[in-house]
Amino acid sequence: MGGLYVVILAAGRSKRINSRKSKLLLPLCGKPLLAYPTEAALSLSPDKVILVVGGPHKDCIIKNFSQYNVEFVEQPEPLGTGDAVRKTEKVIPHNASLVVMPGDAPLIKKETLKKLVDFHREKNAVATVLTVEHPNPTGYGRIVRSKGDRILMIVEEKDAFPEEKAIKEINSGIYVFESGKLFEALRDIRPDNRQKEYYLTDVIEILQRREKRVYAFKIDNYKEITGVNTREQFSEAAIYMQEEIKRYWLNQGVTFIDPRLVYIESDVEIGKDAVIYPFVSLLGKTKIGSEAVVGPNRILKDVEVKDGEELF
């Protein structure tokens, strides 16, 4: 086994987000959006994490993520996801397991990525696709199954027939491949689609035909794979992330008088039996001690509240 590598696709132009900056750098609960998939990738302890960058925001992304333990590969022209992954061939050995994931999916859990890699290796798969049933699959590639956990192909929304659009199981855009087989298949894909791009999804049908060992790893929570392409989707991701952050702290023994009226960023720490009143925002690296009380209408940024201290 040649180790584990991760490629994160971060070369988009962010046209639909209507911003001067890359959507991947928009602050989401205290961190750039791209930080979440990057940290999830690093949690796998891979041999290498590679960010594929390009377009007008390339230099800003490199500047903001140079402190992470990652490498950068440039995609000079926006020729699709297949082309983006193909650019990494020189820095990835051909006997490795390779996770490929989008940079605009901040809600993916570290535990889910680990389970995906474990499933892929247990199945001795050539390719594994993370999938989920989505109540509104519009815009996502549809999973066309063979039998059992096996996949026949992925059909993109823009190229799907009506019967394929009716399929609810969708492609998350997160995969594990055996790198040698992947790079062989990438040489055979063509931009024969409406977008005139090289789709990474096209390698699924090629690998299924050649190797047969192409699988779906299906999860239950469709929100976990939500991509961010618009301001509305960004807000939905922020709301979900806030719910997850507060649920975590509730389970750690923190009391929120009304959790709906509290905002907490992802690097905040809160001690057991702390009490947080409504209309409180906890920002940056704020630390709230155990049994501390933070009264209403407070904004705390990079502040330490000692054990038992009361702020009213």
53-67 tens-digit pLDDT: 999 999 999 999 999
Q: Could you report the per-residue pLDDT of 229-239, keeping only the tens digit for each? A: 999 999 999 99
Average pLDDT over residues 242-256: 98
Range list for CATH 3.90.550.10 in the chain? 4-225
Q: Is the pTM of this model over 0.85?
A: yes
Q: Give residue 101's identity as a one-letter amino acid code.
A: M
Q: Give the contacts of 275 (CB within 8 A, at least 6 positions apart).
A: 254, 255, 257, 292, 293, 294
CATH of domain 4-225: 3.90.550.10
3-state secondary structure of 23: helix
The whole-number pLDDT of residue 15 equals 80
Whole-angstrom distance, CA of residue 25 vs CA of residue 55: 14
Whole-angstrom distance, CA of residue 205 vs CA of residue 40: 28
Average pLDDT over residues 298-308: 98
Average pLDDT over residues 244-273: 98
The whole-number pLDDT of residue 16 equals 83
Range list for CATH 2.160.10.10 in the chain? 252-311
Average pLDDT over residues 181-208: 91
- What architecture does CATH give domain 252-311? 3 Solenoid (2.160)
Burial 172-211 (b: 16+ CB within 10 A, else e): bbbbbbbbbbbbbbbeebeeebeeebbbbbbbbbbbbeee
Q: Could you report the per-residue pLDDT of 92-118, keeping only the tens digit for each? A: 999 999 999 999 999 999 999 999 999
The whole-number pLDDT of residue 72 equals 98
Of 91, 81, 73, 7, give the one whose Cα is nearest residue 44: 7
